[in-house]
Amino acid sequence: MPENRFEIFLTEARAGWLEARLVSNDSHFDLSVNSNFSEPIKDLFRCLCDVRGLDAPTDMETDYRHTEFEWGGEGWLYYWVVTPRPGGVLDILVDFKGKREVGGAEYPVWKIETSTTWDELARQVFTQASEMLWMYGFTGYYARWQKDFPAGEMMRLGHLLHGLPAETDDFARELGYLAETR
The per-residue pLDDT for range 118-138, each reduced to its tens digit, is: 999 999 999 999 999 999 999
In this predicted structure, what is the pLDDT of residue 55?
A: 61
Query: What is the percent of the chain with per-residue pLDDT over 90, rounded to a whole number?
Result: 70
Residue 10 to residue 74: CA distance in whole angstroms: 19
Domain map (residue ranges) of the chain = 6-180
Closest listed residue to residue 92, CA positions, set 62, 140, 136, 124? 124
30 burial (CB, 10 Å; 0-12 / 13-18 / 19+) is exposed
Please tell me the pTM assigned to this model.
0.84
Other Cβ atoms less than 10 A from the Cβ of 52: the count is 17
Does residue 110 register a pLDDT over 90?
Answer: yes
pLDDT for 172:
55
What CATH code is assigned to 6-180? 3.30.2450
In one-letter notation, the amino acid at residue 150 is P
| CA nearest neighbour of 33 among 79, 73, 74 | 73
Q: Are 121 and 90 a contacting pair, CB within 8 Å? A: yes
Instruction: Round the average pLDDT of the chain to a whole number and report it.
Output: 86
User: Pairing between strand 27-34 and 106-117?
Assistant: unpaired
Say yes or no to pLDDT of 167 above 90.
no
Q: DSSP readout, 18-43?
A: EEEEEEETTEEEEEEEETTT--HHHH
